[in-house]
Amino acid sequence: MRPSARGFVATLLLLTAAVQMFVVIPRYRRLLEGVGITPSLPSRVAIGSSRFGFGIVVLVMLAMGVAYWRQRDGRAGRVAAVVSVAALLAAFYLALATCVYWDVARVMDRIQ
């Protein structure tokens, strides 16, 4: 993959995870709580991390800023490594968010 394509994929993963964390998962959490369903363990992890979403985003941005600052001092590859780790964490969060979707689908199946 070309470096620009890797940056695009990382950016896409981070933005998708942010939208899921701040918009979709809180709505699904309220739906599950309103119906009285206990979510599965992976869903609870995704819901719990969405509650601390702003702090997670601040930590990731701080890590990227520190990596950029250190790369300016001559340490090559720091920003790429931090962006790669952030994209990996975003992909992991999206996998956990899929479990929330399964729980909501299970509720919708019961409703029908």
What pLDDT is recorded for position 1? Answer: 59
Assess contact for 78 and 57: CB atoms under 8 A.
no
- Percent of the chain residues past pLDDT 90, beyond the cut: 38
Q: In whole numbers, what is the pLDDT of the chain averaged over residues?
A: 87
pLDDT-derived band at 72 (thresholds 50, 70, 90) equals confident
pLDDT-derived band at 47 (thresholds 50, 70, 90) equals very high
What pLDDT is recorded for position 54? Answer: 86
More confident residue, 111 or 106: 106
User: Alpha carbon 62 to chain centroid distance?
Assistant: 16
Q: How many domains does the chain have?
A: 1
Tell if the pTM clears 0.85, that is, is over it.
no
Domain that holds residue 61: 3-111
